[in-house]
Amino acid sequence: MKLSDQLRRSLRAPAKTLLAMNRWKRFSFDEAPAIFGNAKPKSGSHLLLQILNGFCQIMPYRYVEAEPVRTVKKDGGKRSEGHIVADLQAIPGGVIGWGYVDATTENVAFLCQPERVNYFIYRDPRDMLISHVFFATDMHEGHGMHAYYQKLSDFDERLKVAITGIDRDGLYMVSVRQRYEGVFQWLEQPSVQCIRFESLINQREATLNQMLDQVEKTGYKIPTPRAQALEILTETIQPKKSKTFRSGKSGEWRKYFKAEHKALFKDVAEDLLVRLGYEPNNDW
C-alpha cells in the first residue's frame, strides 16, 4: 500500500467523525443503537451499504466502516471465529458496521443482543450465480475462480461450475445449495431483519420503512421525520456508483439460464427456491 493511501485511510475516521460532530452538533454518539449490515456475497451488499451511509444523514452516527468484516480471507482461506468476533467487537461506538459473516453461535451471541439492530440481505440464487460468474470472470482478477473461469470455453460452462461447485486441482467452491445453508441460519434469527434484494428494488419505500421500524423497535426514536428520512435514503441509493455494479436488476437469470442450466440447478439445489419463497414449486 502506498504511503498516500495509508495516510488517507488513517485520516478517514477522524475526518468523518468531525463531519458528524458538525452535522449533529454533539461530541457523543452513544444514543442510537449499534447497527450491523450483513450480506450474502453478490446479493446486494453495496446497495445495503449505500442505505447504511444514508442512515448517517438521518440519525446521529459517526460514519460507516470502510472495510467489511469477512468470514473468508481475501485469498480464499477461512478466518477463525475468534478473529471474526474480535473484528465485530472492534467496531467503534457510533459507527455502523457491515460485512459477510455467518450465523455461528459466537456471531449470533454478539450481534443478536436486544439493543442492537441487524440487517441481512440475500438474493434469488439464480441471479446471485449470474452476478458471481461475471464478477469472478471479468471484474475481479484476484478472485479465486478468476483464472479457472477464464480457461473455460464460455459463460455456459462457467455457470455450470458455479451451480455444482468444484473440488479439484486445488480449487474448492461449494454448490449453490451449500451456499445458501447460511442464509437459512440467518432467516431463523428473529432479531435479524432479513431483506430480499428484490424487495429493495421493487418495493423500495415499504422495505425502507421496515428498516427504519427495525431501528425504532429498540426504543430509539429517529430524529428525522419519516417522510424526510425516506427521501434522503432513496436519494442515497445509486447502484451505478458501486465499483461492483453490473446490472442491479432482478430476474436477469432468465437471459442466461438455458434448459441444461435449469435441469442442473434443480438437480443440485433441489427445493432451494421453494424453501426461499422464490418459486411455488420446482416447475419453473
Flag whether pLDDT at 26 surpasses 80. Answer: yes
Q: Is the backbone of residue 48 left (phi > 0), alpha (psi -120 to 50) or beta? A: alpha
What lies within 8 Å, CB to CB, of 118 at 6+ separation is 35, 36, 38, 111, 112, 189, 191, 192, 193
The pLDDT of residue 3 is 58
Write out pLDDT tens, residues 97-122.
Answer: 999 999 999 999 999 999 999 999 99
Average pLDDT score over the chain: 92
* 194-217 pLDDT per residue, tens: 999 999 999 999 999 999 999 999
Contacts of 177 (CB under 8 A, 6+ apart): 268, 269, 270, 272
> Hey, what amino acid is at 24?
W
pLDDT at 52: 98
- Domains of the chain (ranges plus CATH)? 12-123+180-241 (3.40.50.300), 126-177+247-276 (no CATH)
- Over residues 223-240, the mean pLDDT reads 93
Region 248-262: what's the mean pLDDT? 90
- Model confidence band, residue 16 (pLDDT cutoffs 50, 70, 90): very high
**Cell digits for 172?**
474448492
Query: Which pTM was predicted?
Result: 0.90
Question: 71-75, 143-147, 238-242: lowest mean pLDDT where?
Answer: 238-242
Neighbour-count burial of 82, counting CB atoms closer than 10 A to its CB (0-12 exposed, 13-18 middle, 19+ buried): exposed
**Inter-residue contact 227 to 153 (CB < 8 Å):** no
